[in-house]
Structure 1
Amino acid sequence: MDHVISVRDLRVLDGKKTLVGPVTFDLKQGSTTGLCGPSGAGKSTVLRALVDLLPHGLVRDGHLEVLGRPFRHGKGDSGLRSTVVLVPQTPVVFGGSILDNALFGLRHLVRASRSDLNDRVEQALKEAGLWNEVCNRLDTPAQSLSNGQRQRLCLARALALEPAALLLDEPTSALDERSRDTVEASVAALRGNRTVLLVSHDPAQVERLCDRTVRLELPETLTCSPAAAA
């Protein structure tokens, strides 16, 4: 299947008022697509609409297909949450060890032996570029990690679910330059292997990491173009 996600005329509504959209785009298998635009255009809102995590009172309208299957707003389909996974802007680290954090989603959504789960976590940590830094201290508190390491831990937690698509919401905006470069390297390594939708306020970052861009404007318009680096 060429398109992992197909979005047609997606809007986010507050009652009868349109806050975002209409938006139409496709995410191709193995592609990294940048979603960019000015502050207030609704980039993060689009991501949350795709996984039914909109704030109370807002609804998604339009057509959404994931792997050829239509999803309607508010149907409570847990399959969507494990198929399309959102990694938020601020890394969410729970109390407990690094391993506990990496296993969090798997424990809730996947039936497998502890050994199999640990193997999936190890692979995910490697894919996120964090394994070599934590492999000898998986039992230490996750709170001991730096901000950049926490962001990569959240990325690994998502990757362990083996999702069809990853939604990354400003993954480097709260990081210093060195941590930003490390997280960018992890995202760049996914290119061609994972389907990624990346929200960024930084056009240069989108150019570095993405195959194409979807640009949201404050008026209800949408333009798509190849990234300069593609």
Structure 2
Amino acid sequence: MDHVITVRHLRVRDRDKTLVGPVSFGLEHGSTTGLCGPSGAGKSTLLRVLVDLLPAGLARDGDLEVLGRSIAAGKGDADLRAKVVLVPQTPVVFGGSVLDNALFGIRHVMRASRQVMEERAEQALNEAGLWKEVCDRLDAPAQTLSAGQRQRLCLARALALEPAALLLDEPTSALDERSRDTVDESVAALRGRRTVLLVSHDPAQVERLCDRKVMLDPPVAAPQPVAMTT
């Protein structure tokens, strides 16, 4: 079966120290996959690998393919980041209006009239479950939105790019229960239509939202040499 993303024996290293992996998995079209594992296993770091945004000093080996194309490490591929979009744990809302935020990504990758781009933004806001709440205040500052609305605005900004895959890094961990439920509903509505990789520390959330899960175990520390005595 064709995969949107295929990872084979992927590791992240800091010099000789393994920080993540090795891990292998594939994301099928339209699937929602939970990326699970204990704190320190490197779940967020792995997401950064998938968009080629590893911090300086870290390296990865193993194979990464997106839509059948091999992705070399450290190339800063902007085209990749328009196809595989990372939505971080803390909502990043830019200065400007709600509509400006929804348009932010596509303005940089799409050559079209303002009307066409606004129509795409409206579709994305609908898909993120936010349109009915903001359609009468698109010109309002995005900073006036609640935490849950900001997270769904970030989701809409990503969806407007028509990505091949969405990477969601603990999208509800910083939210109150009511906001968490609304974001959960938005993610659930993507199931079967978008390819999603969801990092979550909540097994119940993974059970609710995901078709399958990938377990990421902490790397095994290399054994320490035994001191010889005489």
TM-score over 0.5 (shorter chain): yes
Equivalent pair of 2:18/2:219 in contact (CA under 8 Å):
no
Partner of residue 135, structure 2: 135
Of residues 97-106 and 14-23 in structure 1, the stretch that sits farther from structure 2 once superposed is 14-23
Q: 2:71 aligns to what?
A: 71
Q: What residue in structure 2 maps to residue 122 of structure 1?
A: 122
Determine the C-alpha separation between the residues in 1 that align with 2:76 and 2:38: 31
**Match for residue 227 of structure 2?**
none
Highest Rg: 1 or 2?
2
Alignment TM-score, normalising by the size of structure 1: 0.94
Q: For residues 181-214 of structure 1, what are the alpha-carbon distances to aligned partners after superposition, in whole Å with 9 as ceiling and x for unaligned? A: 0000000000000000000000110000000000
Within 1, Cα distance between the matches of 2:75 and 2:161?
21
How many residue pairs get aligned? The number is 220
SS in 1 for 2:5: strand
Equivalent residue number for residue 185 of structure 1? 185
Alignment correspondent of 2:91: 91
User: For 1:74 and 1:22, how far apart are their aligned partners in 2?
Assistant: 19
Which residue does 1:106 correspond to in 2? 106
Give the 3-state SS of the residue equivalent to 1:75 in structure 2. Answer: coil
Q: Runs (4+) of structure 1 moved beyond 2 Å?
A: none
Q: Residues 87-108 of structure 1: CA distance to partner in whole angstroms, max 9, x if unpaired?
A: 0000000111000111110111
Between 1:190-199 and 1:106-115, the stretch displaced more is 106-115
Residue in 2 that maps onto 1:149: 149
How big is the shift at 1:219? 3.9
- 1:172 aligns to what? 172
Q: CA deviation at 1:167?
A: 0.1
The residue identity in structure 1 corresponding to 2:123 is Q
Letter in 2 for 1:158: A
- Post-superposition Cα deviations, 1:145-182, rounded to whole Å, max 9, x if no partner, equal 00000000000000000000000000000000000000
Q: Is the contact between residue 20 and residue 219 of structure 2 (CA under 8 Å) also seen in structure 1? A: no
1:40, distance to aligned residue in structure 2 (A): 0.5
**Residue 60 of structure 1, CA deviation:** 1.9
Looking at structure 2, the residues matched to 63 and 30 of structure 1 have their Cα atoms a distance apart, in angstroms, of 22
Unaligned runs of 5+ in 1: 221-230
The unaligned stretches of length 5 or more in structure 2 are: 221-230
Identify the residue that residue 224 of structure 1 maps to in structure 2.
none
Q: Which moved more, 1:210-219 or 1:147-156?
A: 210-219
Structure 1 residue aligned with 2:57: 57
1:36 aligns with 2:15: no
- Mapped partners of 2:77, 2:181: distance in 1: 36
Partner of 1:223: none
